[in-house]
Structure 1
């Protein structure tokens, strides 16, 4: 049997927290509040995202159980193997890889969107074409591509460097959001009144909240980067659960604050200098001036960089783990001779995301929906696996006895399926748009092609061999 490849253990707790928090925030907290307020109202958006954070915390209980027991790269890919076998583990891993890689593309494109707002005369040169009403220019394509390639190079250099930078970026991001939140609330004459209408005028309050809640798997995807990094912890995996909860708490507060900044600073219709390009940016400029725009730009850059860095790391570790388990070609599990990183997986992620920068802002929203599907599948199998490894009572000595956690795992699985229904069911208020469906089908076809290329080897693997390659053990589960 081939020897199982291993990664270097050099990630500190603060770096892992930063990977989870920074990945959860990304660009959406700063770019999308205007869209969320339009869809659900300010209070509807805040409630939807805070409920989403609470639901993710329930799901995180299952992650805490499984990371402590199985601290290996692959995360949900490994957990699906535990709960449903190797076929479902491949499906789960491939859908999760979709979610992760989509968000690398999202953050790279969002960086160009920021520059397009700050330096329109430079960014709006060399017009190329229009997609879904969005004009695409050559500078945004070049800059987004360069950012993707830079963070790929950074990740090839090792988890120590990328983890340290992730922590610094996260602290700067939180400081920037705190300054903007406090300043704009004090600046506004009637902040709570300015937030009206609290819910979307064309929807009930319940539907308003539900529309935003359906985006929670995307909004908070990033806390589940922790199990992808578990094999590289230099500390006890028992700490993982508390790090996840702290990251979700911080993420929820950042989302709520940025929606508040966008809603409470001016009354509806009273925003000076509105450009209709980016509502939050217009509001910060009108209330805070150039200094505010600088703070906002720095915070967004930190969010984008933490998202790029975190998901570049996690997607490459997931592909590495799938390849190590013989469910993807060996190419993906090749380790760098100096840095011991899965460098070919990292460059695959970078190269695969490069075409996305040619599709403009509307494509960002298509990708949001598509990535929510991938991570919802992964959440379900994680909760299902945690449910299976826990026991209601002490009759089975091989399993941890914890009826409360077992109940929460079952609840998390139900919530995960609910997210999938909201995204896929015809007539759902959060149903995927046609472009998202098409992209999803393309990803499924690509996964089938990869599986076909290794199918004979994959089919021949015994359960014991899969346990070794995925979990690093032979013992019965």
Structure 2
């Protein structure tokens, strides 16, 4: 379906095929993402870290189903923001876009912070704030060069991450077979020594869910995909299935190698070294350093690079609809990328990132903001699917248009309810600010609007133009 139907001009190059989009999803989710947050998930889930990732995968697959329904109907950049605005009302779309901005704008700076902390642990002479500057500049230059450059680097980073993951799994499984660690067991799925409750598991899911964030960003690349909505839907499912299997495998092996699991549950992982400690048991100090370095580069460059791409597309989509400053919708004629949106994302990451680098709770605060924004947006996504189904006379399968969205929304609400109090507080404040902005827009006669979508027999609307640079 052409985006001319929605009142837009096709300005981005449709360069990305199914394999490229799967690579984007895998890199954005980071196939070795559990390396950096393993200890936190282990503690929150009472040692049942693998089960937490299984439950998280189930919730995200339900969410991917709803994304598939909506991206087929509205194959334009903007993702949940555009779906809510068209399925329910433009004002709801604005608030949803505002909520997901909390996720996307904070992700690049969170990634730079985590990577900077990891690199500082390896090269102690370079402070965290300096690493933040380096990571932001590298990714900004790469993305301004165009989507082809980003696509090539995606494949290189993905290959490197997979090689390191395979090395860890081989050494880890061999170490367990040789009698190291705690031997093969199902404790990472069901820990008999812990009082099992779903509240405990969902607490782990609320943290581990951070690893899955990124598959949804594929929806923001609908105007970059060579085959549009069909390619996006397939890429979402395939990337989620692959990454879930990898997450469960690596956390299962690491959980069986943790030197002091009871101490980790009781005291947490303040240094963030739990996974690297398990890697050291598996292969020695060299493997611990290798996994730490891989985490820094994966979070700081590979994931950060695609996060900046997705964030810039969201800013561009809201800008061309008049809901953010117009300059954010300008697209480079030579590179075919939203240059101003990319530079704005970089400026925010640099400014807030340097501030957060000076705080002891910077990473915790950023993680809380990212998770809350994403969960709220996903819940609205499920509501959009159900709303459209009832609005259109219940056309289509009740399984994908009612049952799956209800299940998905219930799981996500449970995750938020059992999540971190800081996430709930910061998220509600952010939503309140968004509501105030919406009231100001309405009071000043700038009511949020979206181009009308004509019926099958109606003429197309004039494409909504954006500025080129």
Query: TM bucket by the smaller chain?
Result: 0.7 to 0.9
CA deviation string 1:312-350 (max 9, x = no partner): 111110010001111111021111232121111111111
Corresponding residue to 1:352 among 315, 328, 348: 348
Asked whether 1:211 is paired with 2:203, we answer: yes
Q: Out of 158, 162, 185, which is 2:173 matched to?
A: 185
Give the aligned partner of residue 72 of structure 2.
Answer: 68
Superposition map of 1:46-445 within 5 A: 46-120=50-124, 122-123=125-126, 139-188=127-176, 189=179, 190-192=182-184, 199=191, 204-215=196-207, 217-268=209-260, 278-293=273-288, 295-297=290-292, 299-300=294-295, 301-354=297-350, 355-360=352-357, 362-390=361-389, 396=393, 400-406=395-401, 407-420=403-416, 422=417, 429-433=418-422, 437-438=425-426, 441=429, 445=433
Tell me by how many angstroms 1:240 deviates. 2.2
Over 3 Å counting, the alpha-carbon distance change for 1:56 and 1:119 in structure 2 is: same
1:152 CA displacement: 1.6
TM-superposed CA distance for 1:149, in Å, is 2.1
Q: Is the 8 A contact 2:99 2:373 kept in 1?
A: yes
SS of the residue corresponding to residue 458 of structure 1 reads: coil
**2 CA distance for matches of 1:309 and 1:86?**
30
DSSP-derived class of the 1:347 partner = helix
Rounded Cα–Cα distance in structure 2 between residues aligned with 1:264 and 1:176: 19
Compared CA separation, residues 27 and 356, structure 1 to 2 (3 A): farther
Give yes or no for contact 1:96–1:375 (8 Å, CA) kept in 2.
yes
Match of 1:359, SS state, is: helix
- RMSD over equivalenced CA pairs, Å: 3.4
Could you give the per-residue CA deviations for residues 52-90 of structure 1, whole angstroms, max 9, x where no partner exists? 101110111111122222211001011111232011101
TM superposition shift of 1:219:
2.9
Deviation, structure 1 residue 449 = 5.1
1:460 & 1:314 partners in 2: Cα distance?
22
Q: Which of residues 5, 8, 12 in structure 2 aligns to 1:7?
A: 12
Partner secondary structure for residue 371 of structure 1: helix
1:134-189 Cα deviation digits (max 9, x unpaired): xxxxx210111221122122112212211221132123212221220221121121
Flag the 1:260–1:217 CA change in 2: closer, same or farther, 3 A.
Answer: closer
How far, CA to CA, are the matches of 2:95 and 2:247 in structure 1? 31
CA displacement at 1:34 relative to structure 2: 1.3
Structure 2: runs of 5+ lacking an equivalent: 1-6, 264-268, 463-469
Structure 1 gaps, min length 5: 124-138, 423-428
Q: Distance in 1 between matches of 2:32 and 2:437?
A: 32
| 2:40 paired with 1:35 | yes
After superposition, the Cα gap between the structure-2 partners of 1:408 and 1:364, relative to the gap in structure 1 and judged at 3 Å, is: same
Q: CA deviation at 1:446?
A: 7.2
Task: Give the 3-state SS of the residue equivalent to 2:99 in structure 1.
Answer: helix
**Cα distance in 2, alignment partners of residues 402 and 270 from structure 1:** 47
Counterpart Cα distance in 2 of 1:170 and 1:305: 11
Counterparts in 2 of 1:110 and 1:156: CA distance versus 1, 3 Å: same
Structure 2 counterpart of 1:23 = 28
CA distance in 2, matches of 1:92, 1:15: 28
Distance 1:90 1:203, change over 3 A: farther
For residues 110 and 380 of structure 2, the distance between their equivalents in structure 1, rounded to whole angstroms, comes to: 25
Change (3 A) 1:196 1:223: closer
Tell me by how many angstroms 1:310 deviates: 1.7
Partner of 1:215, secondary structure, is helix
Q: Residues 179 and 76 of structure 1: is their aligned pair in 2 closer, same or farther, counting only changes over 3 Å?
A: same
CA contact (8 A) 2:10 2:223 kept: no
Task: Report the CA distance between 1:444 and its aligned residue.
Answer: 5.2
State how far apart, in whole Å, the 1-side matches of 2:42 and 2:448 are.
52
Distance 1:154 1:103 in 2: 17
What do the CA deviations read for 1:297-319 (whole angstroms, capped 9, x no partner)? 45322344232012111111001
Distance in 2 (CA, whole Å) between partners of 1:379 and 1:262 is 30
- Conserved? CA contact 1:98–1:443, under 8 Å: no
Task: Kindly indicate whether the alpha-carbon contact (under 8 Å) linking 2:84 and 2:381 is maintained by their aligned counterparts in 1.
Answer: yes
Report the secondary structure of 1:191's partner residue: coil
SS in 2 for 1:105: helix
Q: CA deviation at 1:259?
A: 2.3
From the superposition, tell whether residues 345 and 457 of structure 1 become closer, same or farther in structure 2 (CA, over 3 Å).
farther
Task: Kindly indicate whether the alpha-carbon contact (under 8 Å) linking 1:83 and 1:388 is maintained by their aligned counterparts in 2.
Answer: yes
